[in-house]
Structure 1
Amino acid sequence: MDYILTYSLYVVVLSLLMGISTWKLFKKMGYNPLFAFVPFYNYLIIQKETKHPKWWVAMAYLPIIGPIMMTVFHLFLMRHFGKSKFTQVLLTVILPFIYLATVNYSKDAEVESEDELYLTEEEKNAKKKDTFAGSITFAVVFATIVHIFVTQPFGIPTGSMERTLLVGDFLFVNKWSYGYRMPMRPVAIPFLQGTIMDTGQKGNPKDDPKSYVDAVKLPYWRLFQFNKPQKNDIVVFNYPQDSVHTAIDRKDPYVKRCVAVAGDVIEMRAGRLFVNGKPETILGDQQEQHKFIAHAGSQLDVPALYNKYGFLPLQEIQTNEGFVYDFQGLTDQIAKEIKALPQIIDMKEHIWDKDSAAIGYKLNAARDAYTKNIDTTQSIFPINKKWNQDWYGPLKIPKKGDVVTLNQETLPEYQWIISEYEHNKLENRNGKIFINGQETNQYTIKQDYYMMIGDNRDASLDARFFGFVPEENIVGKPMFTWMSLQGAFKDSSSTYQAPFKVRWDRMFKATNTGEVYKTSYWWVAVAILVLFFGWEFFVNLFKKKKQED
């Protein structure tokens, strides 16, 4: 309800701006000037007068798409009054209602004839350009609709989900898997996530130009939520502790496996996951991996290993006694095969010591000098526990309606939920806890939370570090891999850069099914192309037939 009320307020404000800035123009076109203030109908009149597709009006007030369509309508209207020079077009785009008002209240604004009999050759060429621009606009709007309301592409830049999802896989994500989450920043540049460009590592990321208008915001609302994330689902979500973007739907997208849902208890014992006291269920397409340290008498043929095993993030360090290899993502079977190589002296799985809270690590040149570094930017969650990646929990995942006890011991576990995810004012003063100004020792959870962990357990920045993932951060479920490029991203965890190649065998294969042999979705790509180009073909055919009649 809050979403609809806020949305309606924006529609009223936009309609008032449109009416104030164009009422005289509507009167000159022969309409009651009050129609300029009527939502949808005002743009319908513009479409009627400029002889453009009237069904475009249905998209005039949609989030993100609406500003694009409104700009198109404004350009149509200005051209109808002879304002088609470059500077006039630029002013219409950049300062829409201000420039519309300038034209509206001027005395020389008159409707120009569009009768083909009276058009000059230059004007006819301009009209052809308009037709071409209309086709381009349709293409952009069509792609934007699919991107915002149906499915969104994501790339895999890191190896946290290897070997289930590979570095360089590009996925289409179904935004309706867990109910459609309505856009929260309705004024934004299409196809961009959070920022327009990265200004560089030396600058503050918060200073990067945003791809959305943060001041125009809508509350969280999810439509048709018939399902929620289940254990073992691969889920795309917005990174909860993204400090750069305040908008939930503009935070960085992550993809991990949902290992525990609201109400479950999670625990890691020596690198193995237990949920509700039972070992996790390993699906057919899930390849759990761990870190192994190998000592070799001579250098390994890393390219050959990569060609054989695919993803192979590693650090290679030469010592006086040979080479030390830090493999950050090996299955038990691959580790067994590498251990059998003649160069290998010994090889062991690396497991953190119990009650060791340090999460950073550094492999030194001296043999066996594998030391831990404190990294305050990626502290284990919650920060007051002596847990690590391999020895973690037990930790209960909060569920909507849970009443949790608050004290100095439990506060680190719930403080992000209370203050950031559920938007309360939290204060901790003199050992006393205040929520919205009221002292309290308990809190009622307002939404469900989830635990998202990567299959590559020792090379994954996941919920063990950033904590619970709120339901409102859930984007959807990957459908299929539409492109897979080995070497597309530089793996910072590896000293070896994989050669570039296209993985044809992974393209248009389903994800998130739990099956070893994936369903092919080539037909989806074909259907999209047929729908797009077929629509244009039939529209042009209809126009031609109408002209002949």
Structure 2
Amino acid sequence: MDYFLTYSVYVLIISVLMGLSTWKLFKIMGYNPLFAFVPFYNYYIVLKETGHSKWWAILSYLPIIGPIMMTVFHLFLMSHFGKSSFVQKLLTIILPFIYMASVNYSKDPEVQKEELYLTNEEHLEKKKDTFVGSITFAVVFATVIHIFVTQPFGIPTGSMERTLMVGDFLFVNKWSYGYRMPMRPVAIPFLQGTIMDTGEKGNPKDDPKSYVEGVKLPYLRLLQLKKPKKNDIVVFNYPQDSVHTAIDRKDPYVKRCVAVAGDVLEFRAGKLSINGKPEQILGDQQMQHKYIATTGSQLDIPALYRTYGFLPVQEVQTQNGFLYDFQGLTDKTAKEIRELPQIIELKEHIWEKDTPGVSYKVNAARDAYTKNIDTTQSIFPINKGWNQDWYGPLRIPKKGDVVTLNQETLPEYQWIISEYEHHHLENKNGKIFIDGKEATQYTIQQDYYMMIGDNRDASLDARFFGFVPEENIVGSPMFTWLSVEGLFADNSSTYQPAGKTIRWDRMFKATNTGELHKTSYWWVAVLILGLFFGWDYIMKLFKKKEEDI
């Protein structure tokens, strides 16, 4: 209800501005001036009087799409009153209600009369308007699909190898777990969080945003017929993104949901168990591990890459040979590499128990890896002393859980209380305060999940950033519509493949079935294209019929 109440206020404000700036123009067009204040109907009249498709009025107040359509309708209206120069169009776009008001309250605004016979220049202008209308329709159609149906995402890292590969581009179903309504209704379509990256020297928080932060709506999810379950591949907004406060504008991540609200998760020597039982391995899920190889001579990494595909590796020369850090080998791949003549030793890397998360760096003088505390990737929660392979047991919070708050448990729940459930949290003088009141307990207000990559030793996942709130969940991948090897640089690997190659065998294949042999979805691509061009053709016929009448 909070969402619709806030949305109604937003619509009311825009409608009042529209009415105050155009009521006189509506009167001149032969309508009751009060109609200028009526949401949707005001733009219906504008489209009717300017000779455009009237059904577009439905889009006028929708989140994200609405501001675009309103701008188009304002341009139609101003052109109808003869305000069609470049400067007048620019003013209509950047100062819509102010410029329209200046026209509205001018002495004698008049409707631009249509001539029976058009000059060549006027014919060209009309063709230009038709072309612009077609482009506008294409943008609006794509925006509607992008916002309300499915959204494309790319896979830039190897955390889900070899289920999802680096260079895969996915279509994500936004209705999988109920549709999450947009929270920033005024935004540039197709951009996630920022318009551009100012580079490494700049502060990411200063990058120009693709949305208006001040216009916001609360969280609301419609038609939630199911929730994420164990083994689902899920797309979600990164919970601890410090650049964007808007939940739906935080960076998108994709991982496997390994535990849901109420489950108890634990890693022992790299082996995952849920509620005391070993995890279920699906048909398309190839478990991978980190291996350290010692060799007497250099390996042919490009040849290995061609044989095994994704193969992130760090190569370091030592006094006695080479050390290789393979971040993601399956048991089968590890067995075959171990048989190479150059290999002296290939050993799976398991973190030592009761050792906090650390990184390894090569000490070439000692032909060995030495431990270095990695402060950039702290294991969650920070006070447990866990690592990637010895983690938990940890219970995933569930809506309605009443948890104990003290100095020991606070690191586990502080992000939930302060960031995800939006309370004012203070920890002072050994006491915990929530919204100004001392608290020893807290009731969880939404479900949480643990999202972890299939490539366990090369994945920045929930072991680092903690629980994923339900409100951050976007949906689930439907299929891979494009897959390009070598498209993204892999900072985890010394070797980078030369050139870019399309993986035709992965295109339009389902991604979230758990099955080894994937279903092809070529028909979906044909259907989407058919809907687009078919609808455009029908609308043109409908418009031509109206003109003939």
Task: State whether TM-score is above 0.5.
Answer: yes
- What is the CA deviation profile of residues 395-426 of structure 1, one whole-angstrom value per residue up to 9, with x for unaligned ones? 00000000000000000000000000000000
Equivalent position of 1:283 in the other structure: 282
> How far is the alpha carbon of 1:446 from its aligned partner?
0.2
Q: CA deviation at 1:83?
A: 0.8
Matched, 1:257 2:256: yes
Q: CA deviation at 1:19?
A: 0.8
Q: Which residue is equivalent to 2:5?
A: 5
| Paired residue type of 2:371 | K
Distance in 1 (alpha carbons) for counterparts of 2:341 and 2:434: 63
Point out the more displaced range, 460-469 or 359-368: 359-368
Q: Identity rate of aligned residues, in percent?
A: 80
Distance 1:363 1:225 in 2: 49
CA contact (8 A) 1:359 1:380 kept: no
User: Could you list the per-position Cα deviations for residues 164-205 of structure 1 after superposition, in whole angstroms to 9, with x for gaps in the alignment?
Assistant: 100000000000000000000000000000000000011100
User: Could you tell me how far apart the structure 2 residues matched to 1:249 and 1:343 are?
Assistant: 49
Q: Which runs of 4+ in 1 moved over 4 A?
A: 542-549
* Equivalence for 1:50: 50
Structure-2 residue corresponding to 1:467: 466
Q: Which residue of 2 aligns with 1:65?
A: 65
CA contact (8 A) 1:358 1:372 kept: no
Return the letter of the residue paired with 1:111.
V
What is the distance in 1 between the residues matched to 2:76 and 2:544? 22
**After the TM superposition, which residues 121-136 of structure 1 pair with which residues of structure 2 at under 5 Å, given as runs?**
121-136=120-135
Partner in structure 2 of residue 361 of structure 1: 360
| 1:15 matched residue in structure 2 | 15
CA contact (8 A) 1:174 1:477 kept: yes
| Root-mean-square deviation (Å) | 1.2
8 Å contact kept, 1:11–1:39: yes
Are 2:271 and 2:389, in contact at CA under 8 Å, matched by a contact in 1? yes
The residue aligned with 1:29 is: 29
Structure 2 letter corresponding to 1:89: K
| Equivalent residue, structure 1, for 2:177 | 178
Task: Determine whether 1:375 maps to 2:339.
Answer: no
Output the CA distance in 1 between the equivalents of 2:100 and 2:172. Answer: 40
Question: What CA distance in whole angstroms lies between the structure 2 residues aligned with 1:17 and 1:376?
Answer: 51
How many Å apart are 1:129 and its aligned residue? Answer: 1.0
Gaps in structure 2 of 5+ consecutive residues: none
Question: CA 1:400 to 1:20, structure 2 compared with 1: closer, same or farther past 3 Å?
Answer: same
Question: How far did 1:364 drift?
Answer: 3.3
Distance 1:428 1:547, change over 3 A: closer
Q: CA deviation at 1:531?
A: 1.2
Whole-angstrom distance in 2 between the partners of 1:408 and 1:368: 42
Q: Which runs of 5+ in 1 are unaligned?
A: none
Q: What is aligned with 2:228?
A: 229
> What amino acid sits opposite 2:46 in the alignment?
I
Q: Which runs of structure 2 are paired with 1:484-499 in the superposition (5 Å)?
A: 484-499=483-498
Alpha carbons 2:78, 2:84 under 8 Å: kept:
yes
Contact 1:358-1:373 within 8 A present in 2 as well: no
Residue correspondence of structure 1 range 195-214 to structure 2 within 5 A: 195-214=194-213
Aligned to 1:376, the other structure's residue is in SS state coil
* More divergent stretch after superposition (494-503 vs 224-233): 494-503
TM-score between both structures, scaled by the size of structure 1: 0.98
Secondary structure of residue in 1 paired with 2:242:
coil
1:466-521 deviation per Cα after TM superposition (whole angstroms, max 9, x unaligned): 00000000000000000000001000000111231000000000011010000000
* Per-residue deviation, 1:241: 0.2
Report the alpha carbon displacement of residue 26 of structure 1 after superposing the two structures with TM. 1.2
* CA 366–330 in structure 1, closer or farther in 2 if over 3 Å, else same: farther
Report the Cα distance in structure 2 between the residues aligned to 1:65 and 1:359, rounded to whole angstroms: 46
Q: 2:109 aligns to what? A: 109
Counterpart of 2:192 in structure 1 is 193
Aligned to 2:75: 75
The offset of 1:367, in angstroms, is 5.1
What is the Cα deviation at residue 536 of structure 1?
Answer: 2.1
Aligned residues: 548
In structure 1, give the amino acid aligned to 2:134.
S
Secondary structure of 1:292's counterpart equals strand
C-alpha distance in structure 2 between counterparts of 1:360 and 1:92, whole Å: 56
Separation in structure 2 between the aligned mates of residue 543 and residue 22 of structure 1, nearest angstrom: 26
Cross-structure match for 1:435? 434
| Separation in 2, partners of 1:73, 1:273 | 56
Q: Residue 527 of structure 2 aligns with which residue?
A: 527
CA distance in 1, matches of 2:41, 2:548: 31
> Residue type of the partner of 1:17?
L
Give 1:547 shift.
5.5
CA contact (8 A) 1:324 1:367 kept: no
1:156 aligns with 2:155: yes
